[in-house]
Structure 1
Amino acid sequence: MTPPVLSPSRTASRRRRGATVLTGVVGLTLGVLWIRESAIKYHAGFGAADIHLVADGAAQNSRVPGFFQEFCAHILGPNAGLFGYAMPALEMGLGVGFIAVIIAALADSQWSAVLTRLVAGGSVFTLMTYWLSDQLIWEYPIMVLLSACLLATASSRGT
C-alpha cells in the first residue's frame, strides 16, 4: 500500500494552520503573563516609590551598564511618578496586544504580521530594560524568548 500523496497546496495549508495555532498558543501565554504582571503591580499599589527603588538600585549596582545607570539617574528617577503609572499600563497594553495578535491571526487579517511585530518588539524592548536594571524574575527570560520567536517569524506567517 502506498502512502497518500499530499499536494503542495495542502501541505502549505497545514503548515499555515499549524503556524497559526502555535502563534495563538505563544500569544496567549505572553498575553496572560503580561496581564498577570500588570495585575500584580496594580494590586500591590506599584508607583513612584517602586520606580525610585529601581533607579536607586541601578545606580549602585555594578551589574547595571553605565548608560542605563545614567538613564536611571537622569530620566527614570526624576520622572518616577510618570513611570510608576506608565509601567503597569504598558504591561497591560502588551497583554491585550498579544490577545489582539491572536484575534488578528485567526481572522487572517492583513495586519496580523504588523501587529505581531509591534507587540512582540515592544515586549522584547520592555523586558530588556527590566533586565538592564537587574530586575530579573524567572519568567522574563522565557517571555523574551517567546516574544523574539514571534518577532522573528512574523513575516513568514503571511502579509
Structure 2
Amino acid sequence: MVDDTDTMDLKEIFRTMDCDGSGTISQKELLDFLKAVSGDIDAEEVKDIFNKLDSSNDRSIDFDEFKLMMDNMKSLGWTKETQDADTISEEEIRRVFDIVDRDKSGSLSKREAKRACNLIAEKFGIKEVDKWLSEQDVDGDGVLSYAEFKMSIAGNLLIDI
C-alpha cells in the first residue's frame, strides 16, 4: 500500500510531467520525462504500458492511471538514478531544463525548481534545492538561466564524483 508521502511525491511528479497543465499526461510528456530522469528507458515498453492504461483511448492518462503506470515501471526495474558528469549529455540537461521550466520563460524560478525537486535532486545529485538555487544564481536575478543551470549541474556532478 502506498503511504501519504509516496502519494504526495507522485502528485508532484505528475504535475511536473503535465507540461501543458491539462491535468493529464500525454504519451509524449511521459516519454520526455522518463528519458530526462533515466537514460535506461525502453520507449516501446513505455508505449505498451501507456496504451494499456489509456482505457478511454483519449491518448492521455489521469493521476490514478499514472500511479498504476509507475507501479508497472518499477516492476520492470526502472528507478531514478544519479549520473556522473561524464555520462550526462547536453541534450539530457536541456531536456530536464525544459521540463522544469513550466512557464517556458527560459529560466527557472524558485517555485519551478522546488516543484521539480525530485527530478532535479535525484538526477543530478543536488542535496538541498534552496541552497543550490542561491549558490548557482550567479547574476543574482532570483532565477536560473539555462547557462547557470547547466554550469551548476556540471559542477555538482564533478564534486560528487
How does the TM-score come out when normalised to structure 2? 0.29
**Could you say which structure has the greater relative contact order, defined with CA pairs below 8 angstroms and 6 or more residues apart?**
1
Rg bigger for which structure?
Answer: 1
How does the TM-score come out when normalised to structure 1? 0.29
Between structures 1 and 2, the one with greater helix share: 1
Between structures 1 and 2, the one with greater strand share: 2
